Structure 1
Amino acid sequence: MKIYSKYFYLILVLLFTNIFIACKSSFNKFKKTATTQPNIILFMVDDMGWQDTSVPFWKEKTNFNKTYHTPNMERLASEGMKFTQAYATPVCTPTRVSLISGMNAARHRVTNWTFKRGVSMVAPPKELQMPLWNLNGAQPTDTIERSVHITPLPQLLKNKGYKTIHVGKAHFGAIGTPSANPLTLGFDINIGGHAAGQPGSYYGTDSFKNKRSKEKIWDVPGLEKYHGKDIFLTEVLTIEAINAVDKAVNQKKPFYLYMSHYAVHTPLQGDPRYESKYLAQGLHPTEAKYASLIEGMDKSLGDLMDYLDKKGIANNTIILFMSDNGGLSAVARGGTKHTHNKPLSSGKGAVHEGGIREPMLVKWPGVTKENSTTNSFVIIEDFFPTILEMAHISNYQTIQKVDGQSFTPILKGNNLNTNSRALFWHYPNNWGPTGPGIGASSTVRKGNWKLIYYHINQQFELFNIKNDIGETTNLAYKNNRKTVELAKLLGNYLRSVNAQTPSYTKTGNKVPWPDNTIVLQKLNK
């Protein structure tokens, strides 16, 4: 009897031991799942305006929202959060450098678009001499002249186990510099990215080259297997992105996909899958091409979202949607210039809202409230700390000082209102075309007020954006107090980051800080 009792107790001990081990294993598995790094997709569109979508980002739906067809943006908005006051810089490379470095453009000094090493691609106006801005872009080394040395965002993600995938437009650094190749910036994979800011062609039948040019520098690299085929560039990049992501998923690695489309940048070539539909609606032929580029981009977003659903990883994948600057309007478009982003004024190249306010969406499963909207301010450098926080990466070290502020509290619904925060833009360069808000300038937005300081003539524009979203009424010389207040704020900031300013051709004197101008001194009396 004692022998049976002995075995009975032994069996009980073994049983409880197995239960304990199983429970511990389940707990560890749960714990591991709870802290698993999410996959992250940053879906960046080139030159897409605030109104280039069927998703309304204003208080009412506009005619542009009714013209464009972006059902997958609508889907993303319904599953995540819409940002109505999200900002980038007026042109592409400064935005992309701010994104990858977390720095404001005034600090990193890549204040215009880059291309050829040592060459400023746009001549200054005759009245101004541009400063020695960093025309060679952002670099992973301090050995490149006229560049900013950074610790890139993809490198920090890669260091923590992410598979980092670059697809599409890069435009981080000039030809002949390390960062012309995204692999030097921490990406494991580069598909179609190099120093150029636009494709030679969107058509596979053209091999994505400009057949009318002898220069090869616009040719999209690495897509030879599609050369000569009847396929559109946006579709090719999407196919290749999904293939690259699928390999990472099969390797059970978290991935960071920078899905950086060349669309909707020039050349404005129609996507044959959609162009005829817009022509049938009576759109100007150029605008039909533009609308087809937008819808092709939207299909890409939908294809990626469908893939995530199919693989069962949508609930562990964050999607951020953003544009690098406002919609093109000063050149190359059909219809009246500077009207393609209304109710916003102007477009790409301008510090008016049409040039810097962007369509931004974020889906963070289990965190962002579905079909939600925020009016809180965010700016492009904020993506750097935000993405790192999303990836559970903290206590990281960077060579550069990070200016961006994480917007994860907004995404978590903490009712954080950032509209008392000052946002700054600094563009001591010449873009080329002319129009409202275009030209060498420095700008600050604080609350509802926005002050623009033009370097060429030391004049100011002051707008109340809440009451005048179209920036139609300049209040700079009526509301002296606010002009002086914001000019001092702007001047102090520019000095604090050692911002560069142009010089006057006739005298050689530097353009004064906004709070040191004769105009401001008169207003301050």
Structure 2
Amino acid sequence: MLAILLISGFFSFGQNKKTQPNIIVFLVDDMGWQDTSVPFWTKVTDFNKRYHTPNMERLAREGMKFTNAYAMPVCTPSRVSLMTGVNAAHHRVTHWTSPDKDKNTDFADSTLNSVDWNINGFSPVAGIPHTFYGTPLPAILNQAGYYTIHSGKAHFGSAGTPGSDPKNLGFQVNIAGNEIGHPASYLGEKNYDNAKNGKPSRNAVPGLEAYHGTDVFLSDAITTEALKALEKPVNDKKPFFLYLAQYAVHVPLDADKRFMSKYLKAGLDSTEAKYAALIEGMDKSLGDVLNFLDDRKIADNTVILFMSDNGGLSLTPQRGGNAWTHNLPLKGGKGSVYEGGIREPMLIRWPGVVKPKSVADQYVIVEDFFPTILEIAGVKNQKIIQQIDGKSFLPILKNPSFKDENRELVWHHPNRWIPAEGPKIHFSSAFRKGDWKLIYDYRKGKLELYNLKNDIGEQNDLALTNPQKVKELALLFTKQLKKWDAQWPTYKQNRKVVPWPDEVN
């Protein structure tokens, strides 16, 4: 078992609890960097013009926009990192977890064996096989006096393990969250299910029976219930932590009839119109939250952190269809360690601290949410089981020009995500320091080098022309992976270990 780490700064109650800010994490599923009318690049693109997200625009006006915010290439690793402050290479939940216990979601590969990753996800309880054991964020906040609410998608751990129930992580209220990774349906008239012959499907959304048979879209149902739950801490004048994790904009692409017509009239086909409507429905949820804060006159003491859990799902020909997510100019999409799979829309509003209309170019990553939120809450000197890899971005919130080009970021995905072949969506890891990014494709035994400042689309591989930079980054990359004892794949043919980055010729 990992040694208990005493983190200085946590869990000291020197400040008056009345001044503790309320904290809301608004997490979106599968939302790409371009899937919004808020431009996160240096210019507005045609894709930004396609979507209508006025409440994201409001957050950007009233808060800070992060142009270099990252998550993991798939969902569960990001969610575990957010809840624990630990990088996926370290917590070993490197892929999405199945709703069913002890089921490996990796597809078989002809070249490499599947690694022994934590297929059951995160556990707040020690001794659960194939899980990462740690101290979860909501449990710490709850002990610090916060009223903790979970609403929406959880997907922290498989069924039958403690991590499948958000209440085991320290949430006092759980709305519609369990082990499933996407809904069977977004439609209330279908009971948020896709039952066949009267038998509920595995991905039926739980706990929303009050909305069954209605025309209430899922994004609205979990938002309405979350805001109802907030009435208690607001009336009790108690700080709250709301984790509102939208199932949107993950498939299935059910039509949100309130928004479909405008996109069809704009010339989008029915699939892309459904996706755009799903995005606008998510944005409406954000607006409902902002309006609630205004109505209760608590907006000035509430921090809102908006993020997506991985890049947009770009349905390439290898997956059997056309794209509805357009991550361009970024390369790749969900499942890839190229920028399209990991770079996310991120916005933060904190009145009185974050300067309105500010833009931060410093790169951050999803495990940074854990130490940042604890620092925002003023939590100090708390015993935490796991070693924290994340770094607080509070200095960035106070100074958007903050720079740290020595920061090292790691993405580790030693897994096969889909059965079909595709561009860098299997068995790849990546490392960033400053503007430089190194990508390692294990199956090809190849390192690629990109300068993201000059080449955000990763079109110009500089590995051959800058071998010294490749060597420098490969050494640092390997050192970090070995420090974390990251699981490493082996070849099927001879069971030999795939070379580490610094061993690639």
Equivalence map 1:314-333=2 (5 Å):
314-330=299-315
Q: Would you say the 8 A contact 1:102–1:385 is kept in 2?
A: yes
The correspondence for 1:200, drawn from 176, 184, 189, is 184
Equivalence map 1:46-57=2 (5 Å):
46-57=29-40
1:119 aligns to what SS in structure 2? coil
Q: Which amino acid aligns with 1:169?
A: K
The correspondence for 2:458, drawn from 463, 471, 481, is 471
**Higher deviation after alignment, 399-408 or 323-332:** 323-332
Q: Which amino acid aligns with 1:496?
A: K
The correspondence for 1:291, drawn from 253, 258, 276, is 276
The correspondence for 2:94, drawn from 102, 105, 111, is 111
**In the alignment, which residue of structure 1 is the partner of 2:81?**
98
2:167 aligns to what SS in structure 1? helix
TM-score by length of 1: 0.90
Greater Rg, structure 1 or structure 2?
1
**In the alignment, which residue of structure 2 is the partner of 1:22?**
none
The correspondence for 1:399, drawn from 378, 385, 402, is 385
Q: Which amino acid aligns with 1:92?
A: C
Equivalence map 1:7-22=2 (5 Å):
none
**In the alignment, which residue of structure 1 is the partner of 2:292?**
307
Q: Would you say the 8 A contact 1:287–1:334 is kept in 2?
A: no
Structure 1 residues 434 and 250: CA distance shift in structure 2, 3 A: farther
CA distance in 1, matches of 2:17, 2:162: 38
Deviation per CA, 1:74-104, whole angstroms, max 9, x where unpaired? 0011000000000000000000000000000
The answer on 1:39 being equivalent to 2:22 is yes
The correspondence for 1:341, drawn from 298, 314, 327, is 327
**In the alignment, which residue of structure 1 is the partner of 2:57?**
74
The answer on 1:409 being equivalent to 2:395 is yes
CA distance in 2, matches of 1:379, 1:199: 26
The answer on 1:375 being equivalent to 2:361 is yes
Q: CA deviation at 1:483?
A: 1.1
Deviation per CA, 1:236-272, whole angstroms, max 9, x where unpaired? 1111011011122112211100000000000011111
The correspondence for 1:175, drawn from 159, 167, 171, is 159
Q: Would you say the 8 A contact 1:203–1:232 is kept in 2?
A: yes
Gaps of 5+ in 1: 1-30, 520-525
**Higher deviation after alignment, 104-113 or 417-426:** 417-426
2:415 aligns to what SS in structure 1? coil
CA distance in 1, matches of 2:324, 2:32: 12
The correspondence for 1:270, drawn from 234, 237, 255, is 255
CA distance in 2, matches of 1:404, 1:398: 13
Q: Would you say the 8 A contact 1:124–1:429 is kept in 2?
A: no
- CA-based RMSD of the aligned residues comes to 1.7
**In the alignment, which residue of structure 1 is the partner of 2:234?**
249
Q: Which amino acid aligns with 1:279?
A: L
Equivalence map 1:427-442=2 (5 Å):
427-432=413-418, 433-442=420-429
Larger helix share, 1 or 2: 1
Deviation per CA, 1:193-245, whole angstroms, max 9, x where unpaired? 01010001000011000234856320100001111111100011111011011
Deviation per CA, 1:484-506, whole angstroms, max 9, x where unpaired? 11111111110111000111000
Q: CA deviation at 1:436?
A: 2.8
CA distance in 2, matches of 1:337, 1:480: 35
Q: Which amino acid aligns with 1:502?
A: P
Q: Which one has more relative contact order, counting CA pairs under 8 Å at least 6 apart?
A: 2
Q: CA deviation at 1:346?
A: 1.2
The answer on 1:89 being equivalent to 2:72 is yes
Deviation per CA, 1:441-479, whole angstroms, max 9, x where unpaired? 121011111111111121111111111111112121221
**In the alignment, which residue of structure 1 is the partner of 2:4?**
none
Q: Would you say the 8 A contact 1:423–1:446 is kept in 2?
A: yes
Gaps of 5+ in 2: 1-13
CA distance in 1, matches of 2:460, 2:23: 41
Deviation per CA, 1:171-197, whole angstroms, max 9, x where unpaired? 000011111110000000000001010
Q: CA deviation at 1:330?
A: 3.0
Q: CA deviation at 1:311?
A: 0.4
Q: Would you say the 8 A contact 1:338–1:346 is kept in 2?
A: no
Q: Would you say the 8 A contact 1:338–1:435 is kept in 2?
A: no
2:35 aligns to what SS in structure 1? coil
**In the alignment, which residue of structure 2 is the partner of 1:419?**
405
Q: Which amino acid aligns with 2:462?
A: L
CA distance in 1, matches of 2:483, 2:108: 26
Q: CA deviation at 1:32?
A: 7.4
**In the alignment, which residue of structure 2 is the partner of 1:121?**
105
**In the alignment, which residue of structure 2 is the partner of 1:357?**
343
CA distance in 2, matches of 1:273, 1:419: 45
**In the alignment, which residue of structure 1 is the partner of 2:3?**
none
1:376 aligns to what SS in structure 2? coil
The answer on 1:483 being equivalent to 2:466 is no
CA distance in 2, matches of 1:159, 1:33: 15
Structure 1 residues 114 and 74: CA distance shift in structure 2, 3 A: same
Q: Would you say the 8 A contact 1:346–1:435 is kept in 2?
A: no
Q: CA deviation at 1:284?
A: 1.7
**In the alignment, which residue of structure 2 is the partner of 1:24?**
none
TM-score by length of 2: 0.94
Q: Would you say the 8 A contact 1:49–1:354 is kept in 2?
A: yes
Q: Would you say the 8 A contact 1:338–1:345 is kept in 2?
A: no
